Structure 1
Amino acid sequence: MPNRPATRSLRLVLLVAGLTQLAACASGGKAAKLPSASVNALYTQLDQASQGYETALQQTRAGDAQAAQKTLDGALDQLKEASAHCGATPGCDPQRFFSVFDHLLRLKDGSFIGDETPGEGEDKGEATTAVPGPGQAGAAGSLPEAQRAVTLLRGHQLSELIAMNGPVKAALEMWLTQWRGNLMDAYVNYQYLRQEMWPQYQQEGLPEALLFGILAKESGGKVHAVSRSGAAGPLQFMYATGLRFGLSDQDGFDTRFDPGESARANAEYMDEQLKVFNDNLELTLAAYNGGEGRMRRLVGDNTTVSFYDPRIYGQVSQETRDYVPSVLAAAWLFLHPDSYNLRFPKVDGLTSSMTLKRAASISELTVCLGSANDMPDGWFRTLRNLNPRLDPQQEQPIGSQLQVPKMLKQVYAARCTDGPWPILASDLHNAVVPVLPDPPPAVAAADPVVRYTVRRGDTLASIVRKHGGCSGENEVARLNNLKFNHVKVGQVLRLPSCR
């Protein structure tokens, strides 16, 4: 393993290279059918830059960081020069630059470069790869950090299974623009749920990036999310599917809302369906969203078929067509945030059990904690996620145990056990809202007219007299468009009501 400073330096150089190539993509024109000599020269520089990066990786693995840095600097110079000239060279195809960019990211996933958790720096130190055992769920240090980017999915690196096609690129743009806030919220929420959810995935040998991608798309990390169709929990299980994987009611609590149990069930589901679909990740995700029965009928015996094959893609719902690339794009960004000019916030997700020194509900705790530790949106969502079995409005007695971010324990002791903030929180929480009595049932408005069927011997005058004389003959004639006040047997007349 090379020294960490050298590794860090290589990673930063890769970031510059990636951003340079993306800028070239935005400025290029259409490719010519027969590239000129100058265009071919640019493409040759791209190929040499890519080969130089591969050589640098080999030197890094061999422990020669100095040689690797020199090789990578040369490759970077070639890449920058080619990128700068592509936009001004007729016939230069910017897609070739994107292909090199994509290629380098996939090389990165197979290297020892870029193996830190997004948002974490060098000061975290080396991490063990052991899965927390029983009673160790609170030990964030036992969670695997190193090389999670290269976690295999049935013998394949995850990046090999994510095709950088049109739908995935479009989803990347959505996550980086309109959905960016949702992506950031999902990342923050996940960091506090990670020690419960990630070990379940690791036990099934599944990549963490995939778990994050599903979580981001399904609920954004909101443990109590419920869809219009009845799917519930952070990973949105339907009730029947949840039962099949051990999610049920326990003492009145639906365990679909339990993040650890939900992650376990999801990992088991993915494991089952990957076997069914011959490790085809896209078909497996489509089954998770659109139903495995439907996907099995569409795919039949040909499990090698692409999800984007018109025979499949054209038969699934628009929701599923959007769902699959959206999950894969979120997973890709989880692995490569810097390469897409994305910076996830640094989150200390370590949690701990805390004993209440004063009776309080989650809502009251949220008020007295305020925006402590630079949490502008407050701590309501995090506290709810970490304590899914509690009603957030129900006051918990002194001595109750709550799961909280460990860093909040000192804040709680300083702000929420005594002083003005818990008094304010209690006062707001216990405010009495006037309850008005239910209004009396509305009385149906009387029909302004009555209807009368003309019988033999009736005349308009006799009909008016018979019904109380509430109106004159001319009024009834106008109401029924009668000519010469003439009525016919069987005719239905509208008469003004006397009520």
Structure 2
Amino acid sequence: MLSPAFSRSLRLVPATGAMMLLAACASGGSATKPSPQVNQLYAQLDQASKGYETSVAQARAGNTQASQQTLDTSLNQLKTAAAHCPATPGCDPQRFFSAFDRLLRLKDGNFALGDDLVSMGDESPEGSESGKTGAASLPEAQRSVTLLRGQQLSQLIAMNGPVKAALEMWLTQWRGNLMDAYINYQFLRYQMWPEYQKQDLPEALLFGILAKESGGKVHAVSRSGAAGPLQFMYATGLRFGLNTEDGFDSRFDPAESARANAEYLDEQLKAFNNNLELTLAAYNGGEGRMRRLAGDDPSVSLYDPRIYNQLSQETRDYVPAVLAAAWLFLHPESYNLRFPRVDGAQGSVVLKRPASLTELTVCLGSAAGMSDGWFRTLRNLNPRLDPQVAQPTGVRIMVPKVLEKPYEARCTDGPWPILANDLHTAVLPVVPPSPPPAPPARTSNSGKTRSYVVRRGDTLTSIVNKVGCTSVQEVAEMNGLSHQHIKPGQSLKVPTCR
């Protein structure tokens, strides 16, 4: 077991290296033979990498003191080499990035997730007996989080251009969505994660799909009709047991959706020879299409032009986005990312007075440090309830355990439930619907006409429709027509429209 201080030091190595490597990006590569100075930097890099591997091996063997010394020496070598690369002609910064990526993968699976997270509204690690939440709070969580079919998940994620671009999006433009997805997931975790465990699938993959599909919003519905936290199409949902009972679509049930998703991925991983990228592409773009593209070679890369060029842009973006979110779930600290500590332990309250989910949201306020309020969480945990409909006294409402005491203190008596009910039952003025405006009439200019030569197939009605501002009767009277008879070649006078 590593000491907390040493564990923190080892976690900081990739993050520190990343900052140095970003500086190294400024230099360009050289196609010429490396100079002695460049070779010396590369030798320092190799030595630092080997030292890092040695420190990990020493830590696993329980030799904490020797491991810390080896780590310090390796880190200093890495700092020195990375700092000199930008100023050394011919030094290739990609070598340093490759080393960083390899060390990050070497570290994967060896240290607990969650032990450097910050509690919402509190720096103290509360919410579990061990002081850890999330993946670190469950037995054997680290093995389950990182393994896919017996392989390290991070070994299956190629750190290529699309994944790097997706990492940047999650860390910048999508950062708020990533944080919201993480918080939402922590409250849904006790329902969804066990279904992935049954199929021996990594939790990071579940989070990646959830973050990209719905952001952890249980009632999300796409423009194409995909629904629920994992966005099942209706027909696919039916194939995996997601149906409608008593008016409730079970695609919106977090546990059932996770079960169906895990079964689908298990099926497709077998079909695609455990090729994770093809499996995710099948989930987004359809397994039939992906099987046709892969043909007899399910081990072919998704990025093979024969496949990649045939994918929709949505699928090209989807696969790396899921993998990047999963990667950040495993390695947040290595990208200067700090997920909030969330106590997602399951709880419930029995209503002591009628209340809707919206009313409970108002009276709970920002309890337990939830600055954005609890509406989304209450909806997610009670997907069968209409949030606007008051539930009677005695109904059990699922809530995070951290809300059980705030409910008793704030929502059973006193001013807050009265205020919440007053807001909820406010009467809005009823405005009768306005009739749709009549289309503006087009009128003819009195006395102004033009000629129209009747063509084969014309009728007086079709001519009037072409003119657009007259009537059959008006044209018939203007031309002295009897019984509206016209013939090809005949010249008619018709009004000139404004």
TM-score category (smaller protein): 0.7 to 0.9
**Who is 1:484 aligned against?**
none
Quick one: which amino acid aligns to residue 491 of structure 1?
A: L
Q: In the alignment, is residue 309 of structure 1 matched against residue 304 of structure 2?
A: yes
User: CA–CA distance in 1 between the matches of 2:64 and 2:497?
Assistant: 100
**Who is 2:482 aligned against?**
none
Aligned CA RMSD, in angstroms, stands at 3.0
One of 180, 183, 190 as aligned partner of 2:178: 183
Q: How many residues align?
A: 460
Instruction: For residue 32 of structure 1, report the CA deviation from its aligned partner.
Output: 4.2
CA contact (8 A) 1:117 1:145 kept: no
Instruction: For residue 244 of structure 1, report the CA deviation from its aligned partner.
Output: 0.4
Instruction: For residue 352 of structure 1, report the CA deviation from its aligned partner.
Output: 0.4
User: CA–CA distance in 2 between the matches of 1:383 and 1:150?
Assistant: 26
Matches within 5 A, 1:398-409: 398-409=393-404
**Who is 2:70 aligned against?**
71
Q: CA 1:150–1:142 in 2, change beyond 3 Å: closer, same or farther?
A: closer
CA contact (8 A) 2:113 2:136 kept: no
* Range with bigger deviation, 13-22 or 90-99: 13-22
User: CA–CA distance in 1 between the matches of 2:35 and 2:450?
Assistant: 93
Instruction: For residue 13 of structure 1, report the CA deviation from its aligned partner.
Output: 4.0
CA contact (8 A) 1:127 1:146 kept: no
User: CA–CA distance in 1 between the matches of 2:169 and 2:332?
Assistant: 14
Matches within 5 A, 1:164-203: 164-203=159-198
Instruction: For residue 6 of structure 1, report the CA deviation from its aligned partner.
Output: 5.2
One of 103, 117, 121 as aligned partner of 1:119: 117
Q: Identity, % of aligned pairs?
A: 67
CA contact (8 A) 2:144 2:197 kept: no
User: CA–CA distance in 2 between the matches of 1:154 and 1:187?
Assistant: 24
**Who is 1:360 aligned against?**
355
Matches within 5 A, 1:442-457: 448-449=443-444
SS in structure 1 at match of 2:397: strand
**Who is 1:30 aligned against?**
29
**Who is 1:102 aligned against?**
101
Instruction: For residue 165 of structure 1, report the CA deviation from its aligned partner.
Output: 0.4
**Who is 1:490 aligned against?**
491
Quick one: which amino acid aligns to residue 379 of structure 2?
A: R
**Who is 2:460 aligned against?**
none
Matches within 5 A, 1:391-470: 391-440=386-435, 448-449=443-444
**Who is 1:91 aligned against?**
90
CA contact (8 A) 1:116 1:145 kept: no
Instruction: For residue 424 of structure 1, report the CA deviation from its aligned partner.
Output: 1.2
Instruction: For residue 97 of structure 1, report the CA deviation from its aligned partner.
Output: 1.0
Quick one: which amino acid aligns to residue 154 of structure 2?
A: S
User: CA–CA distance in 2 between the matches of 1:168 and 1:262?
Assistant: 26
User: CA–CA distance in 2 between the matches of 1:394 and 1:316?
Assistant: 44
User: CA–CA distance in 2 between the matches of 1:444 and 1:20?
Assistant: 64
Output the TM-score relative to the length of structure 1: 0.85
Output the TM-score relative to the length of structure 2: 0.86
CA contact (8 A) 2:11 2:334 kept: no
One of 222, 232, 236 as aligned partner of 1:237: 232
Instruction: For residue 87 of structure 1, report the CA deviation from its aligned partner.
Output: 1.2
Matches within 5 A, 1:126-275: 143-144=138-139, 146-148=141-143, 151-275=146-270
User: CA–CA distance in 2 between the matches of 1:50 and 1:125?
Assistant: 37
Quick one: which amino acid aligns to residue 320 of structure 1?
A: T
Q: CA 1:127–1:416 in 2, change beyond 3 Å: closer, same or farther?
A: closer
Q: In the alignment, is residue 351 of structure 1 matched against residue 346 of structure 2?
A: yes
One of 384, 406, 417 as aligned partner of 1:389: 384
Q: Deviations over 1:315-358 (max 9, x none)?
A: 01000000000000000000000000000011111120111111
Instruction: For residue 105 of structure 1, report the CA deviation from its aligned partner.
Output: 0.8
User: CA–CA distance in 2 between the matches of 1:496 and 1:267?
Assistant: 66
Instruction: For residue 145 of structure 1, report the CA deviation from its aligned partner.
Output: 5.9
CA contact (8 A) 1:108 1:114 kept: no
User: CA–CA distance in 2 between the matches of 1:454 and 1:20?
Assistant: 78
Q: Deviations over 1:156-191 (max 9, x none)?
A: 110110000000000000000000000000000000
CA contact (8 A) 1:116 1:147 kept: no
CA contact (8 A) 1:353 1:404 kept: yes
Instruction: For residue 446 of structure 1, report the CA deviation from its aligned partner.
Output: 5.3
SS in structure 2 at match of 1:27: coil
Instruction: For residue 127 of structure 1, report the CA deviation from its aligned partner.
Output: 10
SS in structure 1 at match of 2:201: coil
CA contact (8 A) 1:232 1:238 kept: yes
Quick one: which amino acid aligns to residue 119 of structure 1?
A: L
* Range with bigger deviation, 178-187 or 408-417: 408-417
**Who is 2:286 aligned against?**
291
Quick one: which amino acid aligns to residue 113 of structure 1?
A: F
Q: Deviations over 1:382-410 (max 9, x none)?
A: 10001000000000111110110111111
Q: CA 1:100–1:142 in 2, change beyond 3 Å: closer, same or farther?
A: closer
Matches within 5 A, 1:330-345: 330-345=325-340
SS in structure 1 at match of 2:372: coil
User: CA–CA distance in 1 between the matches of 2:452 and 2:320?
Assistant: 71
SS in structure 2 at match of 1:407: helix
Quick one: which amino acid aligns to residue 87 of structure 2?
A: A
Q: CA 1:199–1:127 in 2, change beyond 3 Å: closer, same or farther?
A: farther
Instruction: For residue 435 of structure 1, report the CA deviation from its aligned partner.
Output: 1.7
Instruction: For residue 5 of structure 1, report the CA deviation from its aligned partner.
Output: 2.5
Quick one: which amino acid aligns to residue 351 of structure 1?
A: Q
Q: CA 1:454–1:106 in 2, change beyond 3 Å: closer, same or farther?
A: closer
Q: CA 1:454–1:56 in 2, change beyond 3 Å: closer, same or farther?
A: closer
Quick one: which amino acid aligns to residue 491 of structure 2?
A: G
CA contact (8 A) 2:204 2:326 kept: yes
Q: Deviations over 1:210-239 (max 9, x none)?
A: 000000000000000000000000000000
* Range with bigger deviation, 272-281 or 9-18: 9-18
Q: Deviations over 1:77-106 (max 9, x none)?
A: 110111111111111111111111101111
Q: CA 1:249–1:142 in 2, change beyond 3 Å: closer, same or farther?
A: farther
Quick one: which amino acid aligns to residue 264 of structure 2?
A: Y
**Who is 2:43 aligned against?**
44
Q: CA 1:150–1:215 in 2, change beyond 3 Å: closer, same or farther?
A: closer
User: CA–CA distance in 2 between the matches of 1:32 and 1:445?
Assistant: 72
Q: Deviations over 1:240-261 (max 9, x none)?
A: 0000000000111000000010
**Who is 2:321 aligned against?**
326
User: CA–CA distance in 2 between the matches of 1:141 and 1:495?
Assistant: 81
CA contact (8 A) 2:207 2:325 kept: yes
CA contact (8 A) 1:127 1:144 kept: no
CA contact (8 A) 1:286 1:295 kept: yes
Q: CA 1:62–1:200 in 2, change beyond 3 Å: closer, same or farther?
A: same
User: CA–CA distance in 2 between the matches of 1:407 and 1:12?
Assistant: 30
Instruction: For residue 365 of structure 1, report the CA deviation from its aligned partner.
Output: 0.9
Q: CA 1:119–1:149 in 2, change beyond 3 Å: closer, same or farther?
A: farther
Quick one: which amino acid aligns to residue 18 of structure 1?
A: G
Q: Deviations over 1:412-462 (max 9, x none)?
A: 11111112211111111111112222334655665524999999xxxxxxx
